[in-house]
């Protein structure tokens, strides 16, 4: 991507030196983030244990206590990534502010919280292994920057546009929250619990499509470089539920999908990227 390193966005909250620990939970308002499935798959491969089996029960779980202390050296190493996510955050939100204004809707900025190890979010305590996630309660996206190292080293999801896609997906959830889509989906889940997973898939695929819409904008403004689009497509394919289930040694079970298959994720991202049109992202009409 073509971007100019600069300062840190005013919408970034740097909480990398805070303490964390206590209790986390498997359900409620906190969804396993886009990167969460990557991390779970990696852990399953490393420890030869099906960590996906821990995702279905919900309820409160004990999270190991950890204390993050200021680390100037690590902060210096992460400075370029902080500047990059700041650029993507501001660019994505400015894009959505312009898009929503055309529909007579007002965009309100989300905050991006940087943390290490564990964080107490508006949706409860979360760990780095959750991956990047959006909390609708406090309108914030949370990310431990070490996730990008895992994305690159373990799944080959390298490249700045692959990283940007991850953040644009989470901002897509913020747009859904602003438009009331998230709330309507949860009401449907409560009314039709047998469709809970299927509805979750539709919400996630729409966030992929919204990420594609931002990608379309970057293409129109000549920000993209050769190979950028392929980075995002490869990442979307790498984190499909079917691929991650195979990596974890499980049989592919579409009924248990929560984010969509590799093909679906790529297809919906491309749909948003090619059209740049919000009306093309109605995954709930499929």
Question: For 25-65, what is each residue's pLDDT tens digit?
Answer: 333 445 555 555 555 555 444 333 344 443 443 333 334 44
213/103 Cα distance (integer angstroms): 15
178/146 Cα distance (integer angstroms): 29
pLDDT, one tens digit per residue, over 55-101 is 443 333 334 444 556 677 888 888 999 999 999 999 999 999 999 99
Identify whether the C-beta of residue 20 lies closer than 8 Å to the C-beta of residue 114: no
pLDDT band of residue 105 (cuts 50, 70, 90) is very high
233/46 Cα distance (integer angstroms): 25
pTM of the model: 0.82
pLDDT exceeds cutoff 90 at 138: yes
pLDDT, one tens digit per residue, over 139-158 is 999 999 888 877 776 655 56
Question: In the predicted model, what is the mean pLDDT of the chain?
Answer: 82
pLDDT exceeds cutoff 70 at 223: yes
61/58 Cα distance (integer angstroms): 8
pLDDT band of residue 177 (cuts 50, 70, 90) is very high
- Beta-strand ranges (E) seen in 68-150 are 111-114, 118-121, 124-127, 133-135, 140-143
pLDDT band of residue 278 (cuts 50, 70, 90) is very high
- The pLDDT value given to residue 23: 36
The winner for highest mean pLDDT among 27-31, 138-142, 256-260, 261-265 is 138-142
Residues in the chain: 286
pLDDT band of residue 283 (cuts 50, 70, 90) is very high
| Higher pLDDT, residue 244 or 205 | 205
Task: List the domain boundaries for the chain.
Answer: 12-285
Identify whether the C-beta of residue 6 lies closer than 8 Å to the C-beta of residue 87: yes
Closest CA to 165 of 260, 10, 66, 35: 35
């Amino acid at each position: 991507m073509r971007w100019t390193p600069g300062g840190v966005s005013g919408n970034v909250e740097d909480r990398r030196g805070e303490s964390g620990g206590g209790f986390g939970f498997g359900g409620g308002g906190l969804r396993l983030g886009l990167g969460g499935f990557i991390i779970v798959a990696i852990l399953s491969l490393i420890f030869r244990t099906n960590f996906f089996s821990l995702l279905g029960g919900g309820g409160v779980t004990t999270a190991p206590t950890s204390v993050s202390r200021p680390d100037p050296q690590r902060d210096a190493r992460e400075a370029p990534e902080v500047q990059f996510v700041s650029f993507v955050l501001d660019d994505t939100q400015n894009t959505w502010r312009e898009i929503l204004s055309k529909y007579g809707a007002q965009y309100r900025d989300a905050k991006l919280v940087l943390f290490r190890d564990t964080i107490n979010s508006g949706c409860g305590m979360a760990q780095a292994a959750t991956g990047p996630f959006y909390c609708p309660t406090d309108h914030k996206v949370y990310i431990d920057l070490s996730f990008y190292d895992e994305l690159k080293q373990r799944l080959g999801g390298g490249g700045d546009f692959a990283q940007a896609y991850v953040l644009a997906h989470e901002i897509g959830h913020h747009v859904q929250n602003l438009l009331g889509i998230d709330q309507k989906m949860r009401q449907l889940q409560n009314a039709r619990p047998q469709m809970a997973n299927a509805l979750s898939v539709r919400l996630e695929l729409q966030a992929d499509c919204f990420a594609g819409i931002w990608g379309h904008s970057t293409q129109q403004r000549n920000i993209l470089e050769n190979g950028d689009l392929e980075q995002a497509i490869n990442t979307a394919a790498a984190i499909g539920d079917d691929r991650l289930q195979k990596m974890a040694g499980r049989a592919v079970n579409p009924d248990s999908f929560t984010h969509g298959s590799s093909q679906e994720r790529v297809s919906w991202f491309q749909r948003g990227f090619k059209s740049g049109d919000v009306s093309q992202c109605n995954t709930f009409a499929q």
